[in-house]
Structure 1
């Protein structure tokens, strides 16, 4: 297992532009947080077809990955390394992330323009298989660390975990958290927001609170994020205490694949039995 003294940011890549974008965003975050970027390429059928089409040897992957690592070190002044493994993007990304003790996965998601088609349901399988949070990055470039983070609150069920992640990101980048609450009439949600606010106050996190009106909450969150010039939206995947795996609903997918292409941090619940929010 990788040394736990330094955070690891894992970036799966198929060498497409969107994966390069994820790599750059990971490098920017790593330079601010003193973390190490680990690039990962999973050799699968798509890779072999690509190599055959381009008449390239498998060894060319090492050359390409090594060049990318050296560029990261030079441009961002960070530690970087890479790993190449034969396998499946759906299972091996999460396994290698755990093996490296990665703190975050930066996942580029795109249409059928890359070697491996990490889009739609394929990306969701990767997100929900990982124990650690995944930051989903689309084609839109963000050349700076997050400064405005939207934190939607839809339930009283266990938002403390994503609140901790939000506080960590906010403190690392001197960012502001914009809490977006589903409705003032939801008493338990209001209670959760109150406790979250107390947590942010204790941890010197700048934040504000906005309550949504009736209507399509997904659309309102995205419109709110655009209005706030948000660099990130942070959500928790829907927990189901009857399931041992994490699930994503249409709300989550609306967030993850949002049209303005704002990066989304997806936090998976760490416990199979979901607990309601409580004071620490």
Structure 2
């Protein structure tokens, strides 16, 4: 397709509607096609599910800049979303989560398992996520190259909204680690200069929970969306909990997340 394509996996619940509504919000700022997707376990269910998906769309105010498609197909959410997204050259997947309680109930790591099965960015929203203009995006990084793989996607989003990307990391008493952080910051600033995206760099104090410091920064700077690269080999302790806490944050902010690949050359 020549235009952008966003895929919205819809589970026929309110959180599916929340993801679709947020896709419409983005679609009011950039022309895009939106595919409403539902995977079934039986071919006989396809026609009925497609009808339900169109019924969902009919009661929505679809932006003029958006063209809608539906797809109900036999498949597995953990293996086939990526195949469909790759085949259709999708730029973004928008998915709803039931929040911290539902998130844990559905998994251990239901949403993370879907995200890590895919090669393109997600935006995860909660049922109560507001559609506020994106003026400030926060990108928490660490000392791994993998943590930088969200930088490009966050910059693309920033350009759409003329937003500022706040890249944050932690200060280090160790001189070697401090130099690594400075090198990361220089790479990021150069990348955003090339993209024409506004960038603000901040290093947080070294002590205390990184997740808590990130959320304190979010509140202080009126952040509108959190953007992270998920990588299980992160230097951050308990990174799974870190990522999940940001996806299901109490402020109900949307979270852009990409499954980072273990390669030194993919982070931009």
TM-score, normalised with respect to structure 2: 0.84
CA deviation after TM superposition for structure 1 residue 174, in Å: 1.1
State the match for 1:234 in structure 2.
227
Match of residue 195, structure 2, among 203, 207, 210:
203
5+ residue gaps, structure 1, are 49-56, 242-247
Partner of 2:257, secondary structure, is strand
**1:20 aligned partner:** 17
> Closer, same or farther in 2 for the Cα pair 1:113/1:88, shift >3 Å?
farther
Q: What is the TM-score of this pair, normalised by structure 1?
A: 0.81
Gapped regions of structure 2 (runs ≥ 5): none
Determine if contact 2:129/2:253 at 8 Å carries over to the other structure: no
Count of residue correspondences: 256
TM superposition shift of 1:184: 5.1
| Residue 83 of structure 1: how far off its partner (Å) | 0.3
Residue 239 of structure 1 and its aligned partner are, at CA, apart by 5.9
What secondary structure, in the 3-state scheme, does the structure 2 residue paired with 1:235 have?
A: strand
Paired residue for 1:75, among 62, 65, 70?
62
Distance 1:96 1:108 in 2: 18
Determine whether 1:37 maps to 2:29: no
Report the aligned-residue RMSD.
2.9
CA-CA distance at 1:63 after TM superposition: 2.2
Alpha-carbon separation, structure 1, partners of 2:75 and 2:8: 16
Give the equivalent residue in structure 2 for 1:176: 164
Residues 221 and 62 of structure 1, relative CA distance in 2, 3 Å threshold:
same
Aligned to 1:245: none
* Offset of residue 121 of structure 1: 0.9
- Residue 153 of structure 1: how far off its partner (Å): 1.6
Shift of residue 58, structure 1, vs aligned partner: 6.3
Give the superposition deviation at 1:112. 11
Instruction: Point out the more displaced range, 152-161 or 120-129.
Output: 152-161
